[in-house]
Structure 1
Amino acid sequence: MFRSQGRVRFVRIGSALQIGTATAVCAIALGWAAVAGNMMWQHFSLAQDQAAIDAQARSVAAEARKVDAYKQSVNDIAADLDRRQDLLDDMIRSQFGTDGADPGLVGAPDAETQADTPSDTSAAAQKKQLSALSGMDRLRAMEERQTRFAHRLAALVDQRARKAEAAIRSFGLKPEQLAGRTAQGGPYIPWTAKGVADDDALTKLAGSLSRLNMLERSLVSIPSGRPTASPMLSSSYGYRSDPFNGHAAFHAGLDFPGRYGQPILAAATGRVSYVGQRQGYGNVVEIDHGHGIMTRYAHLSGFSARTGQDVTRGVQIGRMGSTGRSTGTHLHFEVRVNGAPINPRRFLEVKDDVLQVQQIAKQRFARVNGRNDDEADRS
């Protein structure tokens, strides 16, 4: 029913048209719903795909960071191992010479180090196992191998130090008596984290090397050579009847008779600390061997050394005579430790095994100082 310009009209719509119209409207609505649903589904699918892609991208980025961190860690460990190896090399080079070879550290280890020293077979097996590893595991294995080496070397150094200590005691001396307080100094420079961090194995090795160095330097300073070629003694160390007045007196050295002008030799390496005359001794040469040890050569007829001169064992420093309070041509030989006289006889009757330990120590310091073997033998 319509109203237009005051007139009412009636329009009659048939059921068929109504049904058709309704059907068309429903069809349009269903089509729109289908299209909207499809669009929503596609949007949802795209969102899911994008989320999956984003998750995958994050995973790839995380893995990339892990790889970067792994590479950085490997590089850091490799750099630490290089610095650690440099320290080991420097320790060995500074204490045993340029090649690091030393007769005192080569040969059969004692019972203490035997168990910790691998055989050639086990060493080859370890090398084979090491080559089978890769990356971080290989670096860790190399680090452990360095640590074992440092511990084994420290054990061998301790073994050698015990031999040096026993050799010192065989002279009737106490190692702590010779050690004293070593002269050291320099500005305080704190340890920085840029180098190798605190390392128990290297710290122990450094301590062992320091103790060996002290003991062997003390051992080398001990006189062990005869001051002259005379085979006999005319007067021993200790109490005796004074040759001039017959009274009981203390004789602080040994007397070696011989011919006038016979060469007098340095009993050990050292520095001439005095050349001149002393009351009762006549013409005297005194040699400072370090660690509080001094040798005195008295009644000389002449001098072959000067004050401040460095001499080696066996080098001529004077000539035998009879100056001072003397009854005839002879050498008066004294050994003093921290100013107190001790019996020199024990230094002239050294066993071969003690001499061997002392000679090995001399050769080590000769290599470190860049001297040749002949000079080491003479000293």
Structure 2
Amino acid sequence: MRVQTWQRFPSPLGAVLAAAVAGAVLTVSGLASPAAFAADARPDSVQRGLDALVREDGMPGALASVKGPGGRSRSYTAGVGDLATGAPVPEDGQVRIGSNTKAFTAVVVLQLVAEGKIGLDTPVDDYLRGLVRGERIDGRKITVRHLLQQTSGLPNYTEYDLQLRHYAPRELVDIALRHEGHFEPGQKWEYSNTNYVLAGMIVEQVTHRPMAEEIDRRVIRPVGLRHTYFPAPGDITIREPHPKGYYRDAAGAPLSDVTEMDPSWAWAAGQLISTNADLNRFYGALLSGDLLKKAQLDQMRNTVSAEYFGPGARYGLGLVSFPLSCGGVYWGHGGSFPGYETRGGATTQGRAANIAVTTQPTDKATLDHMSTLVDTALCRR
């Protein structure tokens, strides 16, 4: 999930989570040369970067998948997948991909736009009559485009009052609506998970089907994402081989196993489970036009400045462009969920890379190292 700082877990739920798991903590430490993060053309540059994330940045485990323009893929791992047993990180293991889910949700909405069932510039109130109302909040002024592009001004529900329990989407929206709107729709860009919960609710309203089913039949199955799924209500597990995910309050704090958790608080904004290789396949298929017609893909890649993601980053409709050191950009999103952090995306030239670590970084330096490693993987000759 994306919250106040880049992909950091919201502090109110974080405090509850810390209290809930305080009885079982583990630590990990190590050291590696910062030079491991430098981009080079050697075949082991990605492996060296993953090793450094574990040894220098204190990530329990790290894993990556890289696809070259010829279609050849390679998976990497570093660290351990289970701190209690020392079990290795499973190759291309499943992780909770957090806000990468937003790109999937946006694809479903844009497919419905192409079918004439949703209008990008239609007010939210046309689909969710009377629901989006509050202080400086009016769903008659907020359009579907505002939701997908994060320009609605809606408060971010993940900043408030979350508990470790099951949530219905309407409850998440109600949390946000108890707070004042941040600005008039379209006035500026600001990240809010509330936007994508509402987008998911609109999908359900016009299709009369659960959001999870729409993502599955419109995105997951057509692209052949065999290791990607939307957890069913009450499912707190990760189905296939996976590294365990860990939580820590601050840099240097002990780690707690938070692998199993009800993900309903993230819903259409961040509930999916996937693998790095499946994410490579998804973003590659998206950019190749396999999921959207050209008109909708062009809209998705119509961006506004979003330096929140880093220098030069721009936000489209659930899709972010990031500049590459070797020229051009790659398209992805990134995601965060308690226990996991992901970075990556694909280029229009057929390259793709995604990286995951098994705890959310508590400092900007580690996040920068992850982003640099994605650049390393995509810029290798």
TM-score bracket for this pair, using the shorter chain length: under 0.3
- Is the helix fraction higher in 1 or 2? 1
Structure showing greater radius of gyration is 1
**TM-score, structure 1 normalization:** 0.24
**TM-score, structure 2 normalization:** 0.24
Instruction: Say which structure, 1 or 2, has more relative contact order (CA 8 Å, 6+ apart).
Output: 2
